[in-house]
Amino acid sequence: MTKEQIAAQFKTLQDTITQTIETTDGNAKFTEDIWDRDGGGGGRSRVIANGQFIEKGGVNFSAVHGCLPSKIKTKLKVNCDEFFATGVSLIMHPENPHIPIVHMNVRYFELKDGTYWFGGGIDLTPIYIDKKEAADFHRALKLICDKHHPEFYPKFKTWADDYFYLSHRDETRGVGGIFFDHLNESKGLSKDELFNFVIEIGQLFAPLYSEIMKKKAETPYSVQEKDWQLHRRGRYVEFNLLQDNGTRFGIDTNGRAESILVSMPPEVKWTYQYEIRDNSTEANTINLLKKNINWLQYL
């Protein structure tokens, strides 16, 4: 499978996701910016805002190429200068605090010398953790992982716990999911088999998240619950700006800042020493923002 074929399928994936989200939301439509990158390549950024369910969401496709900056070469421990990278990344910030934030990305990276790898992941960031919802989410991921390799789910689930972790807060970003990087034929699967796994993860997103939205869309919420949502969105911003490798890679390769930072929520709060009452629903969520929870036990 060539890099052009992979990019074409990622482009189709973006179309499928945006169409499904528009249909589920019912009110808002995505707007699109087509952009070119100085140095080579470009992409399509699609943003939805002020919908029935989605307050702000972005689904980006990019296929970029050119000269790899020295600091990226050092970080990736590669010597080749010319690179190609393509992928789809998305973020959804819902209006209702009972609908979780969700992030997903699938990507492919190739060097001129033939070195390549896949990466990606999907994770759920509830404002209020619903154990059964988290269990259903992880079960869906496990089914796809197990279909392709028995080690994928336990390895990639642990990787997500470790990656989506705010070390300065000593808490996970949410209930996790899966995360993987530098996935290539050394893992025992062919390039086509690896791509099939990656694209199936991408295709899982739209039906899985649409079902979550529909289940929680009519759940009433209070002023306090909305305030807590804005506070928790602050943690999301902290992770993306302080720790996320994808954000850093995009900026360091002269990516389009508007597209990279579309992941930022529309409204957010940082409250100094936010007071959380003992035994409250907020406290219950904080107590579950831990690594190594077996969410499948709540099925």
Task: Given the residues 103, 138, 148, 149, select the one marked as catalytic.
Answer: 103
The question of whether 93 is a catalytic residue gets the answer no
Type and span of the H or E element at 149: none
Report the candidate in 120, 124, 145 with the shortest Cα–Cα distance to residue 134: 124
SS3 146: helix
Burial 16-41 (b: 16+ CB within 10 A, else e): bbbeebbebbeebebeeeeeebeeeb
Q: What is the dihedral of CA 236, 22, 246, 35, to 10 degrees?
A: -130
Give dist(CA 78, CA 72) in Å, integer: 9
DSSP state of 96: S
- Which positions are catalytic? 103
